[in-house]
Every structure is written in structure tokens, then in C-alpha cells.
Amino acid sequence: MSSSPQPAAPIDTVYTPYQPKVDGPSLAFALGDSAPRYHLGPVLGSGGNSTIYDTYDTDLKRQVAVKILKPKYRVAERALRRFLNEARIMARLQHPGVVPVHDVGEMSGQLYYAMQKIHGRTLRDLLDPEHPSDNPDEIRLRSIDGMLEVFFRACAVMDHAHRLGIIHRDLKPENIMIEDNSATLVLDWGLAKDLKQGESPEEWNAEDNRLEAPDAPPELTITGEISGTPAYMSPEQAQGRMAQLECCSDVFALGVVLYEILTGRNPFHEGTGGNTKLVLGNIKHLRLAPPQRDSEGRRVSPELQAILVKCLEKIPASRYHDASELLRDLRNWRTRQPVTAYGSGVDQQLFKFFLRHRLGTFVICLGVTAAILGWTLVKTTGRADHRIADDARLALQDAVRSHNEAVQADRRRSVVAWEQAQRDWGRARGFAERALAEAPDLLGPEAIQLYLQLALDDIARLTEQNALSEARLLLATLDELSSDKGGPIPVAEVKERLQILRLRLK
């Protein structure tokens, strides 16, 4: 199991506040006959429909940030509604992980809101390998443990939002910021929706049922007919079923962020060449194997793999219902409590209990502890069985990756890609079938599902190629290992597909 995440350290950055010039531009909002309240300084950032300025508040004598809707959107009713919606939702959340809003107003046709000025860097900056640092604190923050700590805090912010019935709809590393004081913020609530007070489903469908910018980069937010950032959308969001979005849609996006923290790459962006439609296709159809090792070479624990798989389920009801459930499992993983997504057995729960209470258990019942730990280690951590299961999981992961690459390959590369996929599947099949026979409990349900899906695909391929004897042999193996005959493979959910394959093989 990977080591527990360490608290994120503050970033060593020196910042000099902006001092406005007397003749600088100003936002024409005045209190009575007084001078303009806000003096605008340099641009801090610019998004799709708005610009944020470093601003001096002359009434309260402080630096703030003022966000102004761009002129071309002043007559766009939906843009106006979303701009005001963002300010109101941020003001309502009142959480340390959400930037406080101080003021909202309009003057001379300029709609704006003022908020606390923040300074730091985003999770995307930490993930970027092009900008390494020699600072020990920043090196620690850029480690997987440091970024996991940031992720936990972002989940806590979303837990607060979900409890209020608010979904974000655009969670991604660019919208998670680490301030100089190490506080974690969730930014850009421009696409957020209050599930209790939002638009009717008719309005959602009228606005959000087709992709308006198919060639936009997958990392950029699309504020047209499908709302969100393609590479982080849930399957239902990618399909334009906006009326069906719930808190679990945010959970899917958090799962993509977690995958990226562990591996350093977005799982749905690879192999697409930046084509947004291909990214959306991957989100809807691509089967993902959880990473066995992180980008630092450490083994990813089965519990954390199970959490990731549950976040990225294609069916919304199979995911965590909201960030609260996800956060609970993450905390249990950190403290070695049972993780609901993993379904820890009694022996594993006892083992984790003793790990949490080593000193007390040693003082109270040293002999009983030694006996139970010995029994637990013999039963669940036999080196040979663990090695068989680990080898099978890694081989299945390689086979799934090769299968996906072959599916996506162009005509010129297709033959070579499928040959490689078949080699990897043959290797994975040997490891998996041995593990299914000798250590199915250690192999885990996710790896068993991968084996089942790859085997069904291979039977279909062999049937199409008229290699019927090989197909029948593999089908017989599935039957022998099926749950119907007391084996570890759950075939109930694929019975219809199995029946079709049997008919073809007669």
C-alpha cells in the first residue's frame, strides 16, 4: 500500500500588491457623489466570457479581484444568467475552499462582481513536468502524496457544495488552486447549477443538447450547447443528457483528476490527437483498467484502485452518489479503515484494526494479537499467491491498453496493433486463469471483470475468423470458472451475450 499522503507545504512565492495609478481606468460604480470605488489594474486572467482584473477598492482600502463580463456577451441572456449565477452560488457556499464574493453590480452596461484576490498555483501547474523546482517544499507538494492531499481538500469543498445541492460541472486540475498559505480552493463556478433552484429540464435540453464546438481542445471549457470540459465530462454529460446531471457527475470528473494525479496523464485524452469527438467517444465507451503503479513507481493499493474504478463507472448509479461518499472512502483508505468500494473481508478488516491500534493491542493482548496477525498474514499475504494475482492484474492492464489502442488505430496501423493486442491478451489470459484457479480472492473483482470482457471479445473475434475450436475451448474455460459452477467469474450480467456466442458456435 502506498504511504499516507503528507500535508501540502506552502509555496515559497513573493507577491507585491498592485498599487493603482491616479489616472488608471476605473469601473464606473460610485457610491452617491463619491469617486469611483474600483480602480482597475492589470488583467489577472481571461476566460471564455469574462476578464478578471487586479483591482483596488477605494472604499475599504484593499486589493480585490473584479470579474467583468466581456462586452460581446452583454446582450446574451444565457451568459448574463450564468455570470450572475456564478456570483450568487459562490456567495452562498461560504466555505474556506471557495473564493468569497464581496459585491455585484452593473454600471454603464458592465456587469461585474468583486471577490477576494487570491494568489497561488493550480493543480495543473503541479502536474506540469515542464516546470521542475529545486525548492524542497514545492518538490513535496508536486509529489503524488502532496497532490493527493490537495485532492482530498478539493473533495471536501465539493462535499460542502453537494450537501447544498450544488453541482460544479467543470471540475479539472485548472480549477483547483493551492494558495500561498496552502489552502485549497475550487475555482470557476460559472457552469455550476443549483439542483434545488435551477432551470427546468426543458430549458436544459433546449440549451445543452448538442456540441457547439467539436474542434475545441479537450482541456478547454465549452460554454455552448454541451457544458463542461470534454476530457473531464461524465458519460451522461458527454451525451448531452444535461437534465440528468447529479452530484455523481462531479464524482466522475474527480475520478479523472485522481487518475491524472496517480499516472500523470488523462486516461481519455491519450491517442486522440486532441480531437474532442474522440475524447467524448472514449469517455462513453473506453474501458479503463486501474493503474497498478503510480508515476513514481509505487504500487497503487487495491483499495485506492477500487475507489478510482467506482468514481469512473459509466453508469451514474454505480458511482459514489456524491462527494461525501467519495470522501468517506478516501478517509477510510488513509486510516486503513474498510473501504466500501473494495469490499474488504473480515480478515482484512482485522488486519487493518491491528495496524491502527498497534500499541494498545500490544499492551492488552500481545499473545492474541500475534496469533491473529499470524493467521491473517498466512491467509491473505502468501507471497506466491500475491505474486500470481499481481502478475495477472498487470498483464490484464497491458492487454486492455493494447486492445484499446487497436480499436483506435487507423487502417495503416490496425494489423500491427491487433497482433500486439493478441500477444498481450494471450499472456494476460495465462496469468489470469492461473490466478482465477489459485487466488481468485486476491485477484479482485475489477481484474476478473477485465478478464471476462476480454475473453468475450476474443470469442467473438475467433468466431468471426472461423477459428471455432479455439473459441469453443475459451468458452469452455469460462463455463468452468463461472459462478454458475461455483467459480469466481460472475456471468449473470453477460448471459445474453454468452447465449448469442453459443448459438454462433453450434
Q: d(Cα 332, Cα 415) in Å, to the nearest integer?
A: 46
DSSP string, 89-100: HHHHH--TTSPP
Which candidate, 194, 195, 227, places its Cα nearest to that of 210?
227
Q: d(Cα 88, Cα 330) in Å, to the nearest integer?
A: 30
Q: d(Cα 494, Cα 337) in Å, to the nearest integer?
A: 33
List the Cα angle 148/151/154 in 5-degree steps: 160
Q: d(Cα 1, Cα 336) in Å, to the nearest integer?
A: 10
Beta-carbon contacts of 151 under 8 Å, excluding residues fewer than 6 positions away, are 123, 176, 254, 257, 258, 261
Cβ atoms < 10 Å from Cβ of 60:
12
Cβ atoms < 10 Å from Cβ of 96:
12
- Candidates 54, 145, 159, 170; catalytic one: 170
Place of cell 469466481: 488
Calculate helix-pair angle for 411-438, 468-481, nearest 10 degrees: 40
Indicate the length of the chain as a whole number.
Answer: 506
Give the E-state strand segments of 252-369 in sequence order. Answer: none
Q: What is the dihedral of CA 226, 231, 232, 234, to 10 degrees?
A: 60
Q: Which cell numbers hold the place of 421?
A: 493486442
Which candidate, 182, 192, 184, places its Cα nearest to that of 161?
192
Place of cell 432551470: 199
103 is catalytic: no
Report the DSSP beta bridge partners of residue 388.
Answer: none
Beta carbons of 239 and 284 less than 8 angstroms apart: yes
Place of cell 513535496: 140
Q: What is the dihedral of CA 362, 368, 371, 376, to 10 degrees?
A: -80
Give the sign of the dihedral formed by CA 128, CA 132, CA 135, CA 136. positive
Q: d(Cα 36, Cα 30) in Å, to the nearest integer?
A: 5
Calculate helix-pair angle for 346-356, 358-380, nearest 10 degrees: 150
Beta carbons of 336 and 40 less than 8 angstroms apart: no
DSSP at 49: S
- In three-state secondary structure terms, 78 is helix
Q: d(Cα 438, Cα 354) in Å, to the nearest integer?
A: 27
Catalytic residues, which ones?
170
